[in-house]
């Protein structure tokens, strides 16, 4: 009778150990799958960047029309106004900000 309880405990511990090994195996497989997914994703991003053609920034900034046409004066006036606004914004950024607490 003493031997039967020992065998039952041994069988129970053996099944627990096998369950632990299976869980460890699943965890390792999941970690490998995650690593593979990250590698594949990085390769796809690198591949998509490699497939893009290089564009010269000067081409994007160039105007389609070679000469001054109507509206060019309005565009230049808008640019000057935008520059003045940027200069004004920069000047206000340099001013100290009062941080007094009112109660």
**Structure confidence by residue, pLDDT tens digits, 40-84:** 988 888 776 666 666 666 666 655 555 555 667 777 888 888 888
pLDDT at 86: 78
* CA distances for 35 relative to 31, 40, 42, angstroms: 6, 9, 11
Q: What is the pTM of this model?
A: 0.40
Confidence of residue 35 (pLDDT cuts 50, 70, 90): very high
pLDDT at 4: 82
Reported confidence tier of residue 98, pLDDT bands at 50, 70, 90: low
């Amino acid at each position: 009778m003493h031997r039967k309880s020992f065998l039952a405990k041994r069988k129970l511990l053996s099944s627990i150990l096998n369950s632990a090994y299976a869980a460890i195996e699943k965890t390792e497989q999941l970690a490998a799958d995650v690593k593979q997914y990250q590698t594949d994703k990085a390769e796809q991003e690198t591949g998509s960047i490699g497939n893009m053609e290089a564009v010269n920034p000067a081409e994007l900034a160039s105007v389609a029309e070679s000469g001054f046409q109507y509206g060019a004066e309005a565009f230049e006036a808008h640019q000057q106004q935008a520059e003045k606004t940027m200069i004004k914004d920069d000047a206000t950024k340099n001013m100290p900000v009062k941080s007094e607490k009112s109660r």
